[in-house]
Structure 1
Amino acid sequence: MSNSKQLKIGALLGSLNGAGAENTILTLCAEFVRAGHMVSLFTLSRHADYQAPSNLHVISLDCENKKKAKPLLAAHTAAERFDLFITSKPEFYDSITADVKICSVHITPTAWITTPKRQFIKRYFKIRKLAKKYKGKKLVALSEGIRRDLIENLNCKPEQISVIPNPYNIDYLRTSADQQGDLPSAPYAVYVASLINRKRHRDLLKAFALMPNSDLNLVLIGKGKEELALKAFAKELGIDKRVIFWGWDANPYRIIKNAKLSILASEAEGLPRVVIESLIIGTPVVSTDCPSGPKEVLTGDFRQYLVPIGDIKLLSKTMSNALSHYPDISTLDISKYAASRVAREYLKIAVPK
């Protein structure tokens, strides 16, 4: 086979929920369709924040129970005879029938283990369970940090793993950023992230409260179970009048473009989409140096805008510095993140020369 042949490609997501893995797989599927391949995207749930392109075949298994969903997926894939199938869910890997199947790893697996290191027995069994989950599978890691974690901590074989970054439709992002829509009325910094503990909004709120620039607002785009607690915490810090809980927005890119600064305060990522999206749009970024991804993106002169996780004072100082001085974003090479280039890297796995 050659890469010019029309391929039958499948992919699996839990849903089209507004999160990073979902955006990555959806963007990849849309690019495969644009390149002329036949693509079917399976979801376990009908829930959708993202809208799939009309020319993408979306099949909802309408079954979030894993035990019941696995045979449904197995029946579909056995009947369809896919050339390539991509899933972000390793637990479904063995239920898939395809000439080539890939498990894409969107997170740094062991960074998600919250059990304290002193509870080494609990940690040991969690790591052992993770290692079993990825054992023997063909993997795509979104960053070198994920790849290292898979090899060093989960005993995956280097030959199992290809490193391919998130795909981005660069023209779409920039066009969306120019669209009209509601915007905050005062100058602001923005953080696009689900309102969950891992994203460490509390660290950001504390750092924001320390900043001397009282004319700046903070816009939090996203939804999640921590919203009420975070609103109360902002009030406790005395900054509730300057913190805007924007909620979910189908087009956050116009808000990112008009922000003075885009922030990532997370404690664990894979290859954080918002960092790259902000740079594509042209907005300065300050990020925690979390595992993994940010330090692979913010390189050279941009490395000074990486902050250790939990260093509130330095995060505040770095945000202030970024507002007054930031390197020329156009000097960063973003071509490797283009959706067309990323899709070709996946096809090289399916159709080796």
Structure 2
Amino acid sequence: MPSSASTPDVSAQADAAPAKRFAFVIEDLYGGGAQKSLLYTADQLRQRGHAVKVFTLRERIEHRLPEGLDIENLGVVTWFTKATSTVLTEKWQASRIAKALEAWRPDVVISCSCDKITRHLDLPNLYFWVKSDVSAKFNDPKQRRRAFDKVRHFYRGRQVIAVSQGVKANLEQVVGLEAERIVPIYNPYEREPFVAMADEPVSLPEGEYFLCVAALEPRKRHDRLLRAYAESGIETPLAIMGKGKPEHEAELERLVEELGLSERVKLLGYYHNPYPFIRHAKAMVLTSDAEGLPRVLIEALLLHTPVISVDCPSGPKEILTQELADFLVAPDNEKGLADAIARMDQAPVTIEPRHYRQFLKETVLPQFEAL
């Protein structure tokens, strides 16, 4: 993909020269939240008057690219490098990245989702952006030990940006990472784009409904959700949005039938734009075993939809603050979750800007600028 011209908004520039030069390095722009939040953060920093460039390692794009954001594909990840992946291959790839960075002279380099390669870079201004909680991803002790060893090997003595306070705490206290420094910085958000997407026409469920938006996979614990919903005794329907492997979808359908919920639980499938559904939901429910900083809860609050969540590692506790903490439940307390659902059904909480101010770009972007 050719590099596009970077033209920071004139109104956002304090003077002729941008305050800093930021480089973001990511494998590709295909996939979920990590790619989306990187593009948004990079473009918002550009709009605030900084020089920003995104380096991708292969040309695979799914997301809408912000106009004016400078993106350069280095082409160092190919079918051949995937097939012959060795430390020597990684070091060759890293040398190509280093050459591009040297030519561009950034003040700050942020690596995301390609750390197996960028760990070979020796730069004083390099940060590794960690967006998930590895300590809660694996139940098998052997897999967990291997994952912890990998994290300690990659990031020991390095600089890390953790997506939440919880991820930082778990890296230090559970994984045992001895980094040079770990800086917790939330992903930045603005409310207006979500409101605009929520206004798009779509066929919504009739009447009130609770909503869960999550991939249909075991870690999201739809079984916990369905049992608690059944125990709550409420009549308000539950809508579940997401897609997964056929066997996981079949298991979910089987459990709905087994619990006698076929008349009250609606399986919506996957929607590219879930925001109209989120905005009109009575409440959003999240029951995962592990998250990093669950975007779906923040996005629900931005749309003034209340939230019920289990207190899984590592983000919900930082999102459900103030009186919203009354709807934060221990993961193994299904009775408490059922009670929270029933209470929300009787008296939904009113969401106000103070509930999500800590995630707004005005609060978050200065923390990136301070790196």
Question: What is the TM-score of this pair, normalised by structure 1?
Answer: 0.86
Could you tell me the percent identity over the aligned residues? 27
Name the counterpart of 1:54: 67
- 1:55-101 residue CA offsets vs partner (Å, 9 max, x unmatched): 33445546372656764464144224351322233323224576622
Name the counterpart of 1:313: 335
Name the counterpart of 1:88: 112
Q: Distance in 2 between matches of 1:276 and 1:329?
A: 11
Name the counterpart of 2:48: 35
Question: What is the TM-score of this pair, normalised by structure 2?
Answer: 0.82
1:4 Cα deviation from its structure 2 partner:
3.8
Q: 1:302 to 1:158 in 2, by over 3 A?
A: farther
Q: Does 1:285 align with 2:299?
A: no
Q: 1:176 aligns with which of 193, 197, 211?
A: 197
Structure 2, unpaired ranges of 5+? 1-14
Q: Distance in 1 between matches of 2:244 and 2:90?
A: 26
Q: Distance in 2 between matches of 1:344 and 1:105?
A: 19
1:108 Cα deviation from its structure 2 partner:
1.8
Q: Distance in 1 between matches of 2:257 and 2:230?
A: 11
Equivalent pair of 1:102/1:137 in contact (CA under 8 Å) = yes
Name the counterpart of 1:218: 238
Equivalent pair of 2:94/2:120 in contact (CA under 8 Å) = yes
Q: 1:158 to 1:126 in 2, by over 3 A?
A: closer
Q: Distance in 1 between matches of 2:131 and 2:160?
A: 10
Name the counterpart of 1:63: 78
Higher relative contact order (CA 8 A, sep 6+): 1
The amino acid of 1:88's aligned partner reads C
Equivalent pair of 1:13/1:22 in contact (CA under 8 Å) = no
The amino acid of 1:63's aligned partner reads T
Moved more, 187-196 or 308-317: 308-317
1:35 Cα deviation from its structure 2 partner:
2.6
Q: Distance in 2 between matches of 1:14 and 1:323?
A: 42
1:197 Cα deviation from its structure 2 partner:
1.0
Moved more, 226-235 or 143-152: 226-235
RMSD of aligned Cα (Å): 2.7
Q: Does 1:137 align with 2:137?
A: no
- 1:127-182 residue CA offsets vs partner (Å, 9 max, x unmatched): 33332232122101111111111111233347511111121122212222233223
Q: 1:122 to 1:179 in 2, by over 3 A?
A: closer
Q: 1:24 aligns with which of 34, 37, 53?
A: 37
Q: Distance in 1 between matches of 2:330 and 2:256?
A: 22
The amino acid of 1:167's aligned partner reads P
Q: 2:186 aligns with which of 161, 165, 186?
A: 165
- 1:251-284 residue CA offsets vs partner (Å, 9 max, x unmatched): 2121111001101111111111111111111011
Q: Distance in 2 between matches of 1:69 and 1:93?
A: 8
Structure 1, unpaired ranges of 5+? none
